[in-house]
Amino acid sequence: MKKSVFFGALTVAGLAAGAAAAATLDDVKARGKLNCGVATGVPGFAAPDAAGEWAGFDVAVCRAVAAAIFNDPKAVEFIPTTGKTRFTALASGEIDMLARNTTWTFSRDTDLKFDFVGVNYYDGQGFIVPKALGVSSAKELDGATVCIQTGTTTELNLADFFRINNISYEPVPIETNAEAQQQYLAGACDTYTTDASGLAATRSTFEAPGDHVILPEIISKEPLGPLVRHGDSEWGDIVRWTFNALVAAEEYGVTSANVAEMSSAPGDNPEVNRLLGTEGDLGAMIGLDAAWAKNAIAAVGNYGEIFEATIGESTPIGLARGLNAQYTNGGLLYAPPFR
Amino acid sequence: MTTLTDPPAESFKLSMLVYDTRYRAITFQILALLAFLTLIGWLINNTAQNLADLGKEPSFAFLYAPAGYDINQTLIAYNNQDPHIRAAFVGLLNTLLVAFLGCVTATILGVLVGVLRLSNNWLIARLMTVYVEMFRNVPVLMWIVLCMAILIESLPAPSAFRGDDATSSMALFDSVAVTNRGVYVPEPLFSRGLGDISVGGYFEISLDLIAFLVVLGGGIFVSRQIARRADAQQEATGVRPKTWYLRLGAVVVPLLVLMVALGFHLGLPELKGFNFQGGTYMRNSLIALWLALSLYTAAFIAENVRAGILAISKGQTEAAAALGLRPRRITSLVILPQALRVIIPPLISQYLNLTKNSSLAIAVGYMDITGTLMGITLNQTGRELETVLLGMLIYLTISLLISAVMNWYNSRVKLVER
Partner residue opposite B376 with nearest CB, options A6, A151, A162: A151
- Residue B7 is predicted with a pLDDT of 67
Which residues share a beta bridge with A54? A48
Nearest CA in chain A to B54: A113
Strand partners, A116: A227
Judge: B379–A111 Cβ closer than 8 Å, yes or no.
no
Residue A198's pLDDT band (boundaries 50, 70, 90)?
confident
Q: Return the minimum-mean-pLDDT range out of A30-34, A121-125, A256-260, B24-28.
A: B24-28
Higher-pLDDT residue of B22 and A184 is: A184
CA-based angle B178:B183:B184, to the nearest 5?
A: 100
**Lowest mean pLDDT, pick from A182-196, B70-84, B159-173:** B159-173
Q: Per the CB < 8 Å rule, is A188 touching B69?
A: no
Do you know the residue count of chain B?
418
Nearest CA in chain B to A232: B54
Chain A closest-CA separation from residue B361 CA (Å): 11
Strand A76-81 to A47-48 pairing: unpaired
Asked if B363 and A175 come within 8 Å (Cβ–Cβ), the reply is yes
B4 pLDDT tier (thresholds 50, 70, 90): low
The confidence score (pLDDT) of residue B198 equals: 77
pLDDT at A4: 46
- Give me the residues paired with residue A229 across strands: A114
A145, A156, A171 ranked by CB distance to B380: nearest: A156
Residues of B in contact with A176 (CB under 8 A): none
- Name the closest residue on chain A to residue B374, using Cα atoms: A84
> What whole-number percentage of chain A has pLDDT above 90?
53
Mean pLDDT for all residues in chain B = 87
Structural contact between residues A334 and A68, judged by C-beta atoms closer than 8 angstroms: no
> What's the pLDDT score for residue A17?
44
CB contact under 8 A, B68 and A156: yes
Average pLDDT over residues A21-41: 88
Interface test with A, best of B50, B275, B284 (most A CBs within 10 A): B50
Per-residue pLDDT tens over the stretch A144-195: 999 998 767 788 899 999 999 999 999 998 887 888 888 899 888 999 998 8
Model pLDDT, residue B85: 93
- The predicted pLDDT at position A231 comes to 87
Question: Per residue in B353-391, pLDDT tens?
Answer: 999 999 999 888 899 999 899 888 988 887 888 899 999
Which has more pLDDT, A71 or B6? A71
pLDDT at B417: 66
Given a cut of 90, whether residue B267 has pLDDT beyond it is no
Question: B50, A13: Cβ pair inside 8 Å?
Answer: yes
The answer to whether the CB of A239 falls within 8 A of the CB of A24 is no
- State residue B268's pLDDT score: 84
Predicted local distance difference test score (pLDDT) of residue A3 = 44
pLDDT at position A2 is: 45
> Could A111 and B382 be called an inter-chain contact, meaning their C-beta atoms sit closer than 8 Å?
yes
Task: For the beta carbon of residue B393, count every other beta carbon within 10 angstroms.
Answer: 11
Its sign, for the CA torsion A144, A150, A153, A156, is positive
The number of CA neighbours under 13 Å toward the Cβ of A99 is 32
B235 and A CB contact within 8 Å = no
Q: Is B365 in contact with A174 (Cβ distance < 8 A)?
A: yes
Judge contact between B368 and B394, C-beta under 8 A.
no
Which pLDDT does position A18 carry in this prediction? 43
Please, which pLDDT band fits residue B52 given cuts at 50, 70 and 90?
confident
Average pLDDT over residues B255-263: 87
Identify the pLDDT of residue B416: 67
Task: Provide Rg for chain A, Cα atoms.
Answer: 21
- Say how many C-beta atoms besides its own lie within 10 A of residue A102's C-beta: 26
Residue pair A183/A189 in contact by the 8 Å Cβ criterion: yes
Q: Report the residue from A1, A113, A187 with minimal CB separation from B180.
A: A187
Indicate whether A207 pLDDT > 80: yes
Instruction: Decide which of B127 and B272 is more confident.
Output: B127
Mean pLDDT of B16-23: 82
Q: Is A171's CB within 8 Å of B149's CB?
A: no
Closest-CA residue to A203 (of B351, A211, B265): A211
Of B43, B362, B367, the CB nearest to A14: B43
Question: In whole angstroms, what is the distance from residue B294 CA to residue B310 CA?
Answer: 24
Average pLDDT estimate for B18-47: 90
Averaged pLDDT of chain A: 88
Q: How confident is the model at residue A317 (pLDDT cuts 50, 70, 90)?
A: confident
What's the pLDDT score for residue A88? Answer: 86
How many percent of chain B have pLDDT more than 90? 42
H/E segment holding residue B178: strand B177-179
pLDDT score of B88 more than 60: yes
Whether residue B50 and residue A16 make contact (CB cut-off 8 A), yes or no, is yes
Q: What is the pLDDT of residue B415?
A: 65
Would the CB atoms of B380 and A10 count as touching at under 8 Å?
Answer: no
- Is the pLDDT score of A99 beyond 60? yes
pLDDT for residue A264 is more than 80: yes
Three-state DSSP string of A317-334: CCCCCHHHCEHHHCCCEC
Q: Would you state the pLDDT for residue A152? A: 74
* A19 has pLDDT over 50: no
